[in-house]
Structure 1
Amino acid sequence: MKLTIEIDFTNEEGKLLSRILKSEDKNVLETKCSAIAKAATEEYKAMILGKKVFTRGKDMLEFRLFSLINHYFEGRIPSEQEICALFQIRIAEAKGLVNAITSKYQYELERTVAKTLADILATATEDGSNFKFALRSAFLKDEINRLITNVNPQLTLLERVTTSGGEFTLKNSSYLALKKYVDELIN
C-alpha cells in the first residue's frame, strides 16, 4: 500500500527539524521525514494487527528505535548522540536504549550490527602495526571489544587515541580477526 501524507511545519519548526536531522536540503529533509514516517507506520501497523501491543512505555521506545534502525538509519546502528537528537533523551538513556534493543532484538539485529561494524572497519587506515578509525558510539566500542574477546581472548582490545575525542586504534591481528568474523556474519 502506498501512502502519501502532508505535514505542515511553522518556519521555526522547519528550521529546528532541519538542524536536528542535519539537512538544509529540502529534498533530503523530505526523504528523511518519509523514512521516519515509514517507521512510525510500521509501529502502528504492528500495534493494530496485535503483533506488538505494549504495556510499558520503554517497550514502545525500544520498538520505535528498532523500526527507525530499519527505515531511517537504513540498517545501521546509530550513535547514542543520534538517538538523543531524535528521542530527546540524555546520553546515558540512549546508551541504555541501544543496549536494550540489541539484546531484545539480538537475532533480528545481528547482521545490522555486523554491517555497521564492517562499515566502520572499512574506514580504518593502517598505521604501522595498528589500524586507526573514528568511532562515535559507546555501544559499538563495547561490541567491538566483546567480539574480539569472543574470537580470541588473547587479542588486544581497542585503544583510544589520547589526543582525539573519537579515534581508536586496533592492533593488526585484532583488526584482521574482527574483520574476518564480521564478514562471515554478513555473508
Structure 2
Amino acid sequence: MQIAITINLSQAEEAEIAAILGCDVTALNGRLNACSLAATNEYLAMFRGQKTFKRGSDMLEYRLLLLIETTFNGVIPDERTVSSLFQTTLTESRSLIRSVISKYQYQLRGHVERTLCECLSDARRQNNTQHYTVIIKSHNIVDELNKALADIDGSLSSVTKRKGSVSTYEIAPSSYNQLCNKFAVQPNP
C-alpha cells in the first residue's frame, strides 16, 4: 500500500528539521518519509493490538526501535542523534538506547553487529606498534564491543577512550584482530 502526505513547511522550518535530522534540505523529503514509515508502523501495531504500552518509556523504546529499522537503516544511532530527536539529555538518550538494545536484543542483533562491523572497519593505526584508533560517538557501542571481547576471551584488553579525547577510542591489536575474526571483518593493516 502506498500512502502519500503533504506537509506545508516554511523554508526556516525545513532548514531547522533538516539540521535536527542531520541532512541537507534536498534530502529532507527522503528522511521524513523514513520517519513517517516508522510512525505508520507504530500506529498500525497499536491499531492491531500488537503493541499496547503501559509506560511512556515502553513507547519511546519501541519508537526508537522502529526508527533504527527505518530511518537509520539498521545502524544504532549515537546519543546526540537520539537527544535531538527525542528532546532528551545525553544521559537519558544513552539509557534509552541501552534499553532498546537490551529489550529488543534478538530483533536488533544483526543491526548491532552491523554497527560494530562499521566501527571495526573505520579503525586505523599509524604503524604496526600502535593501537588501532576509531571515533565512536556512542558509549553503548563501546559497551557492545567490550561485551563481545569478554565473550571471546576475558583476558583481552578492553576498548578504551584515548586520554584527552572526546570520542576517540583505542583498541589493542590483539583485541582488534579477535573482534574482526568474530564479526568477519577484514582487518585493516
TM-score interval w.r.t. the shorter chain? over 0.9
RMSD of aligned Cα (Å): 1.4
Structure 2 counterpart of 1:143, one-letter code: E
Structure 1 counterpart of 2:119, one-letter code: I
- Aligned pairs, number: 183
- Where does residue 140 of structure 2 map in the other structure? 139
Structure 1 counterpart of 2:73, one-letter code: E
Matches within 5 A, 1:93-108: 93-108=92-107
- Where does residue 15 of structure 1 map in the other structure? 15
- Where does residue 63 of structure 1 map in the other structure? 62
Q: Is the 8 A contact 2:14 2:25 kept in 1?
A: no
- Where does residue 149 of structure 1 map in the other structure? 150
1:122-155 deviations in Å (ceiling 9; x for gaps): 0111332421111000111111111111110110
Structure 2 CA distance, aligned partners of 1:53 and 1:8?
A: 32
Structure 1 counterpart of 2:78, one-letter code: S
Structure 2 counterpart of 1:134, one-letter code: I
- Uncovered stretches (5+) of structure 2, i.e. residues with no partner: none
Structure 2 CA distance, aligned partners of 1:6 and 1:180?
A: 48
If the length of structure 1 is used for normalisation, what is the TM-score? 0.93
1:76 aligns with 2:99: no
- Post-superposition offset of 1:2: 0.8
Structure 1 counterpart of 2:29, one-letter code: E
SS of 1:133's equivalent in the other structure is strand
1:169 aligns with 2:170: yes
Q: Is the 8 A contact 2:14 2:28 kept in 1?
A: no
Calculate percent identity across the aligned residue pairs: 32
Structure 2 counterpart of 1:120, one-letter code: C
Matches within 5 A, 1:78-93: 78-93=77-92
SS of 1:121's equivalent in the other structure is helix
If the length of structure 2 is used for normalisation, what is the TM-score? 0.92
